Structure 1
C-alpha cells in the first residue's frame, strides 16, 4: 500500500530539504533571504513546516541562491510545494488549537504507528465525547470557556478518532496509561464508566494495544505525556511532547532516541495488554 502523504507532511518535507540546501551552501537564514523580498521569519516557518509555504517565484529564487541547477531536482521541489497547497481537514479548528498542534494533527494523520504515554488524562484518541466535553469545561474557568470553543474541540477530537477505525490502513496504536489518569474523575462517575468501556472496546482491535502502569509499581514514569510517530520508510520518526501553552514536535535523532528509551522502559514495567480489560472492570466497580 502506498504511503499516505498529507499537506502537513509535504510542507514538513519541503522545509527540511530547503534547510538542508541552505546549510549545504553555508548560508544563514538572514543571508538566504537578503534581497529576495520576504522575511527571515517567513523562511524560518517554511523550514520548520509550520503551515507556511513560499510563493513559487520565491522558491525559484531560493533554489537559484542555493545553486540547485538539476532540472529534475528543481521540479521535484516545485511539485512538492504545489502539492502542499491542499486544504488541511483540521483547518476549521485552527483557532481552538494550541501552538504546534496543527502540525501534530497533520502528521498524526500520515503516521503508520503511534506509541504514546499519558500520565494525566485518558489518551486523546481514546476519549469519548462526554469525557472531552467535561475535560474542556473543567480545564479553564467558566468565564474563559465558550460553548463554541468546547464543541469545536469535541468535534476535532472525534474526527481524529476515525484514524483508528479507517478502512484504508488504520493507525497502529500502542498506548501506556498511568492508573492515576484513569482514576482522575472527569465529568462524574457515569462519564468515567463510559470512558472505561470505550478504552476496552478500542483495545480489542487488532491495531490497538493498551497497557496500564499501576500506581503500586515503584518504577520510572516520564513526567510529561508524549507520543512517538512512526511513518513508512524512509521517513524519520518524530516525537511530540507537551510544554506549557504549546505542543512540541521534533525529529531530532537524540530526542527521538531518548523518548524511545523512556517508552520501552515503561512498557516493560506496565501490565500485560491482556490485563487491561480486567483492570478497567475493577476501576468501574471502585469509582464513586
Structure 2
C-alpha cells in the first residue's frame, strides 16, 4: 500500500449526477454562476445592478451560503444570456438544491448544526485526510464502540430511548455512504496514539475496534497512521483543539476544503477560488486560515506520524493487549 494514496489528477464525481448531495449542488451552482459571470466580463456589483438585487446576495449565491432562490437564479441566468447547455446544468443543480439531505428525514433533530455541511459533502470527496485526537475516527468506529461514546454524552434516562438508537443508526449510515461507496474515496486517517489505549468500553469492545481498524488498514484505499506521543508537532495548540479533515473533490469539482472542529462548533475553510482581480490583492484572513490549517495537517502527517507499516504493528500490539 502506498503511504500517501491521495490521487492528484483523479476527476471529480459528476457535478449533477445521481449521487450529488444537496450541499454539493448548492456550492456547485454558485461556482457555475460565478464562472459564467466572469466569462461575461461582469463584476458582482454590475450583475447585481442588472437584476436589481444587492451585491451581497450575489456573493452569497456564488459562495453557496444559504439556500438559493429560484427567482434569483433565473434572473442571473437571463442576465448572463447563458446557452442551452449551461442553462440545463443550472436547472439540474437548482432542482437538486430543493431536495433534502440524506440525514434530514430521520436524523435532522439529532444532527448538530455545525456538522450538517460536512455530512452533505464528505460522500462527494474523492480523497479524505482525517485527524482525530482523542477517539477513533467516527468513520472507523464499530457500533459497539460508537455506542459507548454516544452513551457518555446522553442523560441516563436516554440510554434506552430513541436518541441512542437514532445516533447509532446515523453513524452506520454515514459510514456506508462514505466508505461503502461503489467508488470509495482514498482515505488517510491520522489518529493520536492515545486512542490505542484510551478505554471507551470493556476489553471485548476495545479489541473488536482494534481488529476492525487492522482490517481496514489492509484495504487499498485506506491508510491508518498514528500520531506518536513524542511527535513534537502534535503539541501545536490547533492540533489539540479537536478533529480536522481535508476533503478533496477532484479535478473539475468543488474546491478542496478543510473542516476544523471545536467544542460544539466547526469552521469550514475552502481553498480560495480567485478571479484575476482577486489574485492581485492580498489573501483574506479566511483564505489564510485555510492555508494555515492545511499546512498543519500536512506537517502532522509528515513529521509526527508512524508509517502505515508501523501503525499496523501498533494495532497488532493493541489487539494483543485487549485480548
Structure 1 residues 108 and 2, CA, compared in 2 at 3 Å: closer, same or farther? closer
State the partner residue of 2:306.
271
1:69 alignment partner, one of 81, 93, 97: 81
- Would you say how many aligned residue pairs link Structure 1 and Structure 2? 279
State the partner residue of 1:233.
251
1:52 pairs with 2:87: no
Contact 1:111 1:171 in 2 (8 A): yes
Q: What does 1:244-255 correspond to in 2, within 5 Å?
A: 244-253=263-272, 254=287, 255=289
Structure 1 residues 93 and 19, CA, compared in 2 at 3 Å: closer, same or farther? farther
Q: What does 1:187-202 correspond to in 2, within 5 Å?
A: 187-202=201-216
Distance in 2 between residues matched to 1:58 and 1:246, nearest whole Å: 30
1:89 alignment partner, one of 102, 114, 138: 102
TM-score (norm 2): 0.74
Structure 1 residues 183 and 104, CA, compared in 2 at 3 Å: closer, same or farther? same
Q: What does 1:1-288 correspond to in 2, within 5 Å?
A: 3-5=13-15, 6-7=20-21, 8-17=23-32, 24-26=43-45, 49=64, 52-55=67-70, 57-63=71-77, 67-72=79-84, 73-91=86-104, 92-143=106-157, 147-162=161-176, 163-166=178-181, 168-221=182-235, 222-223=239-240, 224-235=242-253, 236-253=255-272, 254=287, 255-268=289-302, 269-286=304-321
1:158 Cα offset (Å): 1.1
Distance in 1 between residues matched to 2:213 and 2:267, nearest whole Å: 26
Q: Does the residue aligned with 2:187 lie in a helix, a strand or coil? A: strand
Q: Does the residue aligned with 2:266 lie in a helix, a strand or coil? A: strand
Structure number with higher relative contact order (C-alpha < 8 Å, ≥ 6 residues apart): 2
1:130 Cα offset (Å): 0.7
1:138 Cα offset (Å): 0.4
Contact 1:4 1:110 in 2 (8 A): no
Distance in 1 between residues matched to 2:52 and 2:263, nearest whole Å: 32
Give per-residue Cα distances to partners, 1:61-111, cap 9 Å, x unaligned.
3545xx322344444323321233344322221221111322211211111
Contact 1:96 1:153 in 2 (8 A): yes
TM-score (norm 1): 0.82
Give per-residue Cα distances to partners, 1:7-49, cap 9 Å, x unaligned.
32111212345577599232799x98859xxxx8x98875554
Q: Does the residue aligned with 1:116 lie in a helix, a strand or coil? A: strand
Distance in 1 between residues matched to 2:159 and 2:43, nearest whole Å: 48
Give per-residue Cα distances to partners, 1:217-242, cap 9 Å, x unaligned.
33334122100011121232111111
Q: Does the residue aligned with 2:220 lie in a helix, a strand or coil? A: coil
Larger mean Cα displacement after TM superposition, 101-110 or 42-51: 42-51
